[in-house]
Structure 1
Amino acid sequence: MKIFTAEKIRKCDEFTIANEPVSFIQLMERAAESCAHWISENCKVHKNLIIFCGNGNNGGDGLAIARLLYLKGFDVDVFVKDIKGNFSQDAAVNLKKLKDFSGISVKEFKDFQKEKLSEQAVCIDAVFGTGFSRKMEGEELKIIDELNSLSNIKISIDIPSGLFADQKIEESSIVFQADYTLSFQFWKRSFLYPETGKYTGEIVILNIGLHSQYIEETFTTNFIIDEGLIEKIFKSRNEYSHKGSFGKVAIVGGSYGKMGAAVLSVKAALKSGAGLVFALSPQCGYEILQISCPEALFLEGGDKYIENIHVEENMVLGVGPGLGTHEKTEKSFLNFLKDYRNPLVLDADALNIISKNTSHHNLIPENSIITPHPKEFERLFGKTEDSFERTDLAVQKASELKLYIVLKDHHTQVICPNGNVFYNITGNSGLAKGGSGDILTGILTSLLAQGYSAENAAILGVWLHGRSADFAAEKYSKESMLPMDVVKELESTFLYINKKVTKKL
């Protein structure tokens, strides 16, 4: 799914109006119908709905939603800034339609009394939309601030009021704190960053039938990793294949006291489909790895630390889990990189070693995948003010070094050398535990070994990792799920995606 700026979304609306053709008021009605349907299906036990509408087109959506929900049997109250105010043309049309219904009260923001609000009432925000680009003030500021103090369920229409679609906001800004955001057709970039995404709650994308030609032909560098994209990338197994068809993986990792990281990465590589998996680890981890992962083969790289990295040419390497930064390990790893030219996956201590000197950046083979979390990224490339700037810097570095950067975050980003950014929307806070990144390294290395391009391996890998975590959270809870549970749930994820792509009678 493409991510468009607010300006391109506006042009998409205009293109749809001109080429479907459909009037703007009809398009607004279509958007309102999609919201009203979702609300009526999900708020059946909440009969009282309070809708707060601005004077612009987002307010027009809210006024139309109020009318449609009233017709569906809900008790609806509407609040506007000023009943006699200057509404947009289409919002004015919907206000007039609403006034024809005697069962709906339309009052002003100043008349809202939260102490009279039932705990079961749902508050719906339609004050400002994607065109909002200033700091909130006046009556709108007061009502949003008051609504944020309530414990009621809160829903935003298209975007939480006070949030910008494409950029960060000032720390002192007041933004509607939604439990759900019903967004029309597209994700907004601001939904995907921690500084701004924290206001959206659960995102629900509603298809309102915007013109497919515009969507297909309009350029963007930002994309959502959705199931449609995954279905195009994922390759089902040929029944006549053999273990040699799915590549050789070598996980280079582990050191005294950190063998668990190597075990997790090796198991993830096995579980995600590699034909042969080797663990290149120190001798101190031999028994641990052979007992924990009997399907894997062992390559000795030292005693307590990895001191030698020797691999076959046709192996694909994942380097870093539990590697440590011992002096001998560092020397061995940097010497290895000087002569190695094939794409590999680098994580954890491999990145920490590289970050000690910026000259090491050029040792990373082109088309490799690196997987830094925010602190590792900072050590590698420098400090940024916020996660928006971090993405911008990552785009620059991916282009300069010809790398794929998997920038780990709540919505992990796959950043490509050509400037494209793919945002992952699977996964949950249960992954905020040591070992989760080691699993991702194993998955990515396995997919590279199976013949996926670096870009497709990164995109599919972060989706598999996140979706397996979602299955794990459903079974064990976000609090109790362990990284090993995520490895186990890879089987559920592969069953799920295979059913999607396999065509059988």
Structure 2
Amino acid sequence: MKIFSAEQIRACDAYTIHASGIRSIDLMERAAVKAVEWLTARFDTNTLFVVLCGAGNNGGDGLAITRLLHRQGYGAKAFLLKHAEHFSADCFANLQRLQQTGTDLVELLSQGMFITDIPPHIIIIDAILGTGLNRPVEGWLADFIRHVNQLPNRKVAIDTPSGLPADTVPVKEAAVVQVKETLSFQFYKRSFLHPEGGRFAGDVHILDINLDSSFISSTHTSYETIDDVRQWYEPRNPFAHKGTFGSALMIGGSYGMIGAIALATHAVLRSGAGKVRALIPQCGYEIMQTAIPEAMCATSGEGCLTEIGGWEGMQAIGIGPGIGTDPTTVEAFTSFLEACKQPLVIDADALNILAKHADLLGKIPAGSVLTPHPKEFERMFGAVPDSMAQVEHARAQAMRYNISIVLKGHHTAVITPEGACWYNLTGNAGMATGGSGDVLCGLIAGLMAQGYEPDVAAIMGVYVHGKAGDLAAAALSQEAMIAGDIINYLGNVFLEIADGRFL
């Protein structure tokens, strides 16, 4: 799904109005109907709603929602905040419609007024400010939002939480309504996908209001969500053999860290690679041969890797899980980068070696996939003010070095060499456990071994990894799941993708 900026969303609205031959208030009504459908599907008619409306079009949505809820037998009342000198045309029109339905259904709040004594069981709908916000909220309106946040009521935002910018993260201490759910029309707002903004939006639900599909398909954006990987999925040829699905080499491990490379190697196998080999230090040989009998095993060094060889002829190479930063390993890694020209999957301590030896960044083979978490990225490429700035910095580095960067987080961002950014929507907090990243490294390498382009392998790998984590958490709980559980559920995800059931 494409992620449009606030300006692009306004253009899409305008194009839809023109192409469909409808009025802007008709599109507003369409959005209100979809929001009310969502609300009435979840709350029975005994539910009471307070709808907070602003003077702009988001407030018009709220007024229309109040009217539609009332018509369906729900108790609903709107409070219209006069925070601007004039109401927008559609907001004013919906105010008149609501007043015609019942004068007691709406109350105007002037500057300095607040709402009090709202029983905690009443649902508060936030329709004060929309995506047109271009500066932090100030004055009475900021105080009003902070007052609303102190109320214990369940809160639902219409399109976006009031005070939250669409295209940037909010400034520190910004006044933003904190809600349990956000009903976003047609698109994700980019700020929802970053921790600084997402913490206000709660669970985001996308409501399709039938904006013009030709505008959406023809309008460029560098940002998308990963929500359908079938476009890349290649079903297996029944006449294939193990050589058809490629050979993968996983390089890593050191004394006390053999588990990391074992998890990565196991993930390669579960991703579908035909033949898998692990290059590890001698101290991990028996562990690997016992734990992962399906993988071939070669050794170098005793407690850490001292040479990296045997990679020629491999369709995919992953390096880093458990590899450590011993000087002899650093030397071996440096020599390997100078010799190897095919795309790699680089993770964990291999990233830390790159951070300590910046001259090696220019030696990373084109097309490689780097999988840092935010701190690892910062050590390699420098600090930035916030997570959205970090994604922009990652886009610049991906284009500079012709690599893909998997910037791990709640909504992992996959950055391609062209600067495209794909936000992942699968995964959960239970995956914040040791070894989860090693599994991802192996999964991406396994997909590359089967012939998927590195950037596609990264996008698919991140989606499958997160989805397997979701299935594991559903079965075991977020608290109890471990990295090996993610591997155990990879097969379920591939079954869903092959059958199309995950949609």
Q: TM-score range by the shorter chain?
A: over 0.9
Residue number in structure 2 paired with 1:382: 382
* Amino acid corresponding to residue 290 of structure 1 in structure 2: Q
Q: Does the C-alpha gap of structure 1 residues 173 and 328 become closer, same or farther in structure 2, counting only changes over 3 Å?
A: same
**Within the alignment, does 1:280 sit opposite 2:279 as a pair?**
yes
Aligned with 2:101: secondary structure? coil
Provide the C-alpha distance between the structure 1 equivalents of 2:389 and 2:102, rounded to a whole number of angstroms.
51
> How is 1:150-161 mapped onto 2 (pairs within 5 angstroms)?
150-161=151-162
Superposed CA RMSD in Å reads: 1.7
Secondary structure, counterpart of 1:388 in structure 2: helix
Q: Could you say which residue in structure 1 is the equivalent of 2:450?
A: 450
In 1, the alpha carbon distance for the partners of 2:84 and 2:142 equals: 19
> Deviation at 1:314?
2.2
Secondary structure of the structure 2 residue equivalent to 1:250:
strand
- 1:199 aligns to what SS in structure 2? helix
Q: In structure 2, how many angstroms separate the alpha carbons of the residues matched to 1:101 and 1:480?
A: 53
Question: 1-side partners of 2:300 and 2:420: how far apart?
Answer: 37
- Match runs of 1:247-326 below 5 Å: 247-315=246-314, 316-326=316-326
The 2-side partners of 1:343 and 1:34 are apart by 46
Q: Which amino acid aligns with 1:294?
A: P
Q: What SS does the aligned partner of 2:179 have?
A: coil
2:328 alignment counterpart: 328
Deviation string, structure 1 residues 249-292 (Cα, Å, up to 9, x no partner):
11101110011111111111111111111111111111211221
- Deviation, structure 1 residue 457: 0.5
SS in structure 1 at match of 2:360: helix
Give unmatched runs, 5+ long, in structure 2. none
Aligned to 1:206: 207
Tell me if structure 1 keeps the 8 A contact 2:46–2:75. no
Is the contact made by 1:250 and 1:280 (CA closer than 8 Å) also made in structure 2? yes
Q: Which position in structure 2 is the counterpart of 1:492?
A: 492
Summarize the Cα distance change of 1:373–1:84 in structure 2 as closer, same or farther, 3 Å threshold.
closer
The equivalences for 1:59-70 within 5 A come to 59-70=59-70
Confirm or deny: 8 A CA contact 1:78 1:104 kept in the other structure. no
Q: Distance in 2 between matches of 1:14 and 1:312?
A: 55
Counterpart-to-counterpart distance in 2, 1:176 and 1:113: 15
Match of 1:108 in 2: 108
Structure-to-structure mapping, 1:172-187, within 5 angstroms? 172-187=173-188
Equivalent AA in structure 1 for residue 460 of structure 2: L
Q: Does 1:478 align with 2:474?
A: no
- C-alpha distance in 2, partners of 1:311/1:55? 67
Q: Does 1:48 align with 2:66?
A: no
Distance 2:343 2:311 in 1: 14
Q: How does 1:330-479 map to 2 (within 5 A)?
A: 330-479=330-479
Give per-residue Cα distances to partners, 1:433-459, cap 9 Å, x unaligned: 111110100000000101001111011
CA contact (8 A) 1:76 1:104 kept: no
The 5 Å alignment of 1:106-185 reads: 106-109=106-109, 113-114=115-116, 116-185=117-186
Q: Which deviates the most, 287-296 or 333-342?
A: 287-296
Q: C-alpha distance in 2, partners of 1:301/1:84?
A: 71
Alpha-carbon offset, residue 43 of structure 1: 2.2
Counterparts of 1:45 and 1:306 in 2: how far apart (Å)? 67
Alpha-carbon distance in structure 2 between the residues aligned to 1:378 and 1:78? 47
1:169-212 Cα offsets, whole Å, 9 max, x none, are 22021100011111111111111111111111011011101001
C-alpha distance in structure 2 between counterparts of 1:245 and 1:46, whole Å: 61
CA distance 1:367–1:143, change in 2 (3 Å): same
| Counterpart position of 1:221 | 222
Change in 2 beyond 3 A, CA 1:36/1:355: same
More moved, 247-256 vs 98-107: 98-107
Q: How much has 1:501 moved relative to structure 2?
A: 8.1
Question: Residue 136 of structure 1: CA displacement?
Answer: 1.3
SS in 2 for 1:359: helix
User: How far is the alpha carbon of 1:111 from its aligned partner?
Assistant: 6.2
User: In the alignment, is the contact (CA less than 8 A) between 1:251 and 1:318 conserved in 2?
Assistant: yes
For the structure 1 residues 103 and 273, does the alpha-carbon distance in structure 2 shift closer, same or farther, using more than 3 Å as the test?
A: farther
- The AA in structure 1 aligned to 2:365 is P
Specify the alignment match of 2:241 in structure 1.
242
Q: TM-score with structure 2 length normalisation?
A: 0.96
| Native 8 Å contact 2:60 2:90 kept in 1 | yes
Q: 1:222 to 1:429 in 2, by over 3 A?
A: same
Classify 1:104/1:69 alpha carbon distance in 2 versus 1 (closer, same or farther; 3 Å). farther
CA distance in 2, matches of 1:498, 1:46: 43
What does the per-residue CA deviation read over 1:340-372, in whole Å, with 9 as the maximum and x for residues that have no partner?
A: 100010000111111112211011100000001
Separation in structure 1 between the aligned mates of residue 46 and residue 330 of structure 2, nearest angstrom: 61
Which is further off, 379-388 or 32-41? 379-388
Equivalent AA in structure 1 for residue 184 of structure 2: S
Percent pairwise identity: 44
1:431–1:483 CA contact under 8 A, matched in 2:
yes
Q: Deviations over 1:193-249 (max 9, x none)?
A: 11111111011011101001111111111111112xx11011111211111111111
| CA contact 1:186–1:205 (8 Å) conserved in 2 | yes
User: Which residue of the partner structure matches residue 8 of structure 1?
Assistant: 8
Look up the equivalent residue of 2:206 and give its one-letter code: I
Residue 410 of structure 1: how far off its partner (Å): 1.2
Aligned-residue offset at 1:83: 11
Please tell me whether the aligned partners of residues 46 and 122 of structure 1 are also in contact (alpha carbons under 8 angstroms).
no
Equivalent-residue separation in structure 2 for 1:219 and 1:480 (angstroms): 42
How many pairs does the alignment contain?
499
8 Å Cα contact 1:70/1:104 also seen in 2:
no
SS in structure 2 at match of 1:178? coil
Determine if contact 2:98/2:105 at 8 Å carries over to the other structure.
Answer: no
SS for the counterpart of 2:353 is helix
Verify the 8 A CA contact 1:224 1:423 in the aligned structure 2. Answer: yes
Question: Conserved in 2, the CA contact under 8 Å of 1:244 and 1:275?
Answer: yes
Higher mean displacement: 194-203 or 99-108: 99-108
AA partner of residue 331 (structure 2) = K
Give the aligned residue type for 1:478: Q
